[in-house]
Amino acid sequence: MSRLNSKRLVLDASLALGSNDLMFNPIGDASGDRNRKCLLAVWEEEHVAVFNRLLRQEWRDHASRSAAAWLRNMTQKHRTLDNEGDDFSPLLLPACDCLPNDGEKVALAKDFHLVQSALATGQLILSNEVRFPRYVTWACVAVPELAQLYYGNPRIEGEDCRLWIKAGAEKEPDRRIDNWFANHQP
């Protein structure tokens, strides 16, 4: 893929935490192998990693050695982008207000920085979170802008997620966050 066709992906810190440092098996299917293979696919396809202040801090706090090295390489090659997505911060309150309980509201608020940065850039999120897409899907009713998000999850999807990244991380209907959730409910 050429850099002209690369996508901007918000990469949750769960990928950095979940990347396997010990016994990486490039053909393995363990969770750590899946994360690391997806990060390598982002690198190989010359996609751009989108961050905001909070997400960078989460990566610094939780990244495995291999994920930290991956991020250093991405930064050196100017394949990272910082975007806070401040224009989308007003969506947080109505998104949380439609969730049924306080725990879910707190969980969505904790990760809403991913939503903001994704909406401000390529609308693509890569994460290992399983509850996050559920809360965003429920919030789509009150905040239709959230249905513009597309999602991939290496822990749930495994090789399918890596292949999606390798094929260009296109905004396919099955990847729209509400459709993704409907097809991958835990």
Tokens of 24: 């990486």
pLDDT, tens only, 120-173? 999 999 999 999 999 999 999 999 999 999 999 999 999 999 999 999 999 999
Q: Is the pLDDT of residue 32 over 70?
A: no
- Please state the pTM of the whole predicted model: 0.92
Q: How far is CA 67 from CA 51, 154, 174, in A?
A: 14, 15, 28
Q: Give Cβ neighbours of residue 147 (< 8 Å, ≥ 6 apart).
A: 140, 176, 177, 178
